[in-house]
Structure 1
Amino acid sequence: MITVHDVTKRYGSTTAVQDLTFEVSPGQVTGFLGPNGAGKSTTMRMILGLDRPTSGETRINGSTYAALRDPLRESDQPSDTT
């Protein structure tokens, strides 16, 4: 699950994202739509740890992207041990 809670990102006096909160549940197809300059790329950069939010937090299965051991293989499904 991806969670974004009360995320704001400012670059100087410009606010790119303001008070954004949402959840993406596993197995759910989710669109991320908006006009140019709406903050879509900035939000994705914050989820991936490429930019730090001015306030708020982003999590993937309860952890920050940087804390994930193998983020490209992260799944909330139990690992197959057979």
Structure 2
Amino acid sequence: MSLTIHTKNLVKRYRNRTVANQVSIDVKQGEIVGLLGPNGAGKTTTFYMVVGFIKPDEGEVFLDE
């Protein structure tokens, strides 16, 4: 059994500011992944959308076996 996390075109906006734009990620079981970028780039927002803390305005998150 191989677990995969897949995001497709995640978008998050706060008022008129887009903080995550069309983020797509594939992570397979056993992989270690980091998000790199400057302050305010949307790394934490993207992580929160992947784990379900916040709802994306657009896009989808899939957990596959």
Q: Same fold (TM over 0.5)?
A: yes
Which protein is bigger by CA-based radius of gyration? 1
TM-score normalized by the length of structure 2:
0.84
Give, in angstroms, the shift of residue 27 of structure 1: 1.3
Cα deviation code 1:1-47 (max 9, x no counterpart): 11110110011101010011110111122222111111110011111
Instruction: Give the gaps of 5 or more residues in structure 2.
Output: none
Aligned residue number for residue 21 of structure 1: 24
Output the CA distance in 2 between the equivalents of 1:50 and 1:31: 18
Question: Structure 1 or 2: larger strand share?
Answer: 2
Identity %: 37
Following superposition, which runs of at least 4 residues in structure 1 exceed 3 angstroms of deviation? Answer: none
- Counterparts of 1:30-69 in structure 2, within 5 Å, are 30-61=33-64
Amino acid at match of 1:27: G
Output the CA distance in 2 between the equivalents of 1:48 and 1:27: 17
Amino acid at match of 2:6: T
What is the CA RMSD across the aligned residues, in angstroms?
1.2
